[in-house]
Amino acid sequence: MMKTRPIWNAHVAGVALGLVLLGTFLATGHGLGASGTPTAIAAAASQAVAPTATASNGYLGPMVSGGAHPMDAWIVWEVLGMGIGALIAAWWAGRIRWRIEGPTNLKTAGRIGFALLGGVLSGFGARVSAGCTSGLGLSGGAVLATAGFVFLIGFFLFGMVTGFFTRRFWQ
Amino acid sequence: MILPAGWITPLSGLVFGILFGFVLQRGGLGNGCRLSAQLRLKDWTVFNVMFTAIIVAAGGLYILQFAGLVSWSELYVPTTYLWATLLGGALVGAGMGVGGYCPGTSVVGAAAGRIDGIVFFIGLVLGVVVFAGMFPGLQPLLNAAAGPQAQTLGDLLHIPNGLVLVLLIAGAVLVGWLSRRAPTSKSISCAD
């Protein structure tokens, strides 16, 4: 049995995350993101399955026009790195284990259904706001952007409303 | 040397991504149980990690700019589209209340073997497809109530950004102090 390590104190993790974010800004001029990668995957998959419809779509079309490859983007490398970094951390902490978590008061099918629905809401929402908790909340916050804080207000307030209505599904 | 350095390559993406994923995982933010518990105010990890990170990064950028090492005008500052920014944030919050993650944390959760994290990520891709399908109808909403380009809170409130930083620190300290007794409520038992 591998030794499991407890998670970092939240303020220690916050300082570490802040330094990574600062380093990213100093190196690239922008912050860290995430939702750009599912967007790139959606554009590439849509292009592979239905090229004509993709080209004529107002949102995905510009991403594939002129032979452009939506997956050829900095954010795709960054999210790939996220997966690798999280894997290393989880391995180091002895936390790697196949499991289905999600709302613990639901059975497997319900947990998978909630995860899928949550993902759809989040993926749709992150396109409406052109950024997610990382790209707008965290990175926008780091440059004191009004947009970052407007996003976070919507995120926490409506998140709490949703959290209230879904509380009986979670422990 | 004036920063940012303009190092935007696949390698820099991998390097900063690896650090990002590592820190989120060790901070316990790849755990849907803990993330959603923040929304029920049962666990304050998300708030404390995020606001500490914002203050450290913003403070660092502010000091380096003051020292003449960073050119603020070359940093990417997103623009507010009031309704779209607010509605998008609300939907990402709803996604966390329902599915337990946001886009980045689903990757971190999935990397530790959480199948619900993988499913959430698949949902993200589907959500983008739904958005693309509705894009023409959504466009008026997306562009409504646009704020000034790259506006900071200091610009909005007509106060120096240094004062914004002080106010943020005060807010974070206050919330950290108010939530000190319940960093993690005993009524939840998130594994890691």
**DSSP string covering A31-42:** ---STHHHHHHH
How would you label B145-182 residue by residue, b for 16+ Cβ within 10 Å and e otherwise?
A: eebeebbbbbbbeeeebeebbeebeeebeeebeebeee
What's the confidence (pLDDT) of residue A31?
A: 96
Q: How far apart are CA B103 and CA B123, in angstroms?
A: 10
Measured over all CA atoms, what is the biggest interatomic distance in chain B, rounded to whole angstroms? 52
CA within 13 Å, CB half, B179: 21
Q: What is the pLDDT of residues A95-148, one digit of tens each?
A: 999 999 999 899 999 999 999 999 999 999 999 999 999 999 999 999 999 999
Least Cα distance to B106 among A62, A165, A41 occurs for A41
What is the phi-psi region of residue A151: left when phi exceeds 0, alpha when psi lies from -120 to 50, beta otherwise?
A: alpha
For an interface test with B, the pick among A9, A17, A49, A117 (most B C-beta atoms closer than 10 Å) comes out as: A17
Name the band, by pLDDT with cuts 50, 70 and 90, for residue A53.
very high
Q: Among A5-9, A11-15, B86-90, where is mean pLDDT lowest?
A: A5-9
Q: What is the pLDDT of residues B79-119, one digit of tens each?
A: 999 999 999 999 999 999 999 999 999 999 999 999 999 99
What's the confidence (pLDDT) of residue B109?
A: 97
What's the confidence (pLDDT) of residue A141?
A: 97
Q: How far apart are CA B188 and CA B134, in angstroms?
A: 39
Cβ contact, residue pair A133, B33, below 8 Å: no
Report chain B residues whose CB lies below 8 A from the CB of A48.
none
Select the residue of A7, A30, A130 nearest B76 (Cβ to Cβ): A30
Q: What is the CA radius of gyration of chain B?
A: 19
Report chain A residues whose CB lies below 8 A from the CB of B60.
18-19, 22
For an interface test with B, the pick among A144, A165, A170 (most B C-beta atoms closer than 10 Å) comes out as: A144
Q: What is the pLDDT of residues B41-69, one digit of tens each?
A: 989 999 999 999 999 999 999 999 999 99
Report chain B residues whose CB lies below 8 A from the CB of A8.
26-28
Report chain A residues whose CB lies below 8 A from the CB of B108.
82-83, 86
Report chain B residues whose CB lies below 8 A from the CB of A3.
none
Q: How far apart are CA A80 and CA A87, in angstroms?
A: 11
What's the confidence (pLDDT) of residue B191?
A: 61
Taking CA atoms, A84 is separated from A3, A61, A79, A117, in Å, by 20, 30, 9, 26
Name the band, by pLDDT with cuts 50, 70 and 90, for residue B189.
low
What's the confidence (pLDDT) of residue B77?
A: 96
Q: How far apart are CA A54 and CA A79, in angstroms?
A: 24
* Whether the predicted pLDDT of B185 surpasses 70: no
Q: What is the CA radius of gyration of chain A?
A: 18
* Beta bridge partner(s), residue B43: B184
> What 3-state DSSP class applies to A103?
coil
What's the confidence (pLDDT) of residue A16?
A: 98
- Quick one: which H or E segment has residue A170? none
* Residue given tokens 């936390």 in the structure block: A95
The mean per-residue pLDDT over the stretch A26-36 comes to 97
Select the residue of B135, B150, B154 nearest A57 (Cβ to Cβ): B135
Give the distance from residue A67's alpha carbon to the nearest chain B alpha carbon, in angstroms: 19
Report chain A residues whose CB lies below 8 A from the CB of B130.
120, 123-124
Q: What is the pLDDT of residues B149-175, one digit of tens each?
A: 999 999 999 999 999 999 999 999 998
Task: Specify the higher pLDDT residue, B11 or B176.
Answer: B11
Least Cα distance to B61 among A9, A28, A77, A152 occurs for A28
What's the confidence (pLDDT) of residue B175?
A: 87
Q: How far apart are CA B106 and CA B122, in angstroms?
A: 10
Give the distance from residue B45's alpha carbon to the nearest chain A alpha carbon, in angstroms: 6
Mean pLDDT of chain A: 95
Asked if residue A133 lies in contact with residue A45, where contact means CB atoms within 8 angstroms, the answer is no
Closest-CA residue of A relative to B18 is A85
Give the distance from residue B47's alpha carbon to the nearest chain A alpha carbon, in angstroms: 9
CA within 13 Å, CB half, B191: 18
Per DSSP, which regions of chain B are E strands?
none
Least Cα distance to A118 among B100, B41, B132 occurs for B100
Closest-CA residue of A relative to B60 is A22
Least Cα distance to A135 among B88, B48, B125, B60 occurs for B88
The mean per-residue pLDDT over the stretch B25-38 comes to 94
Tell me the whole-structure pTM to 2 decimals: 0.95
Q: How far apart are CA B93 and CA B90, in angstroms?
A: 5
> What 3-state DSSP class applies to B146?
strand
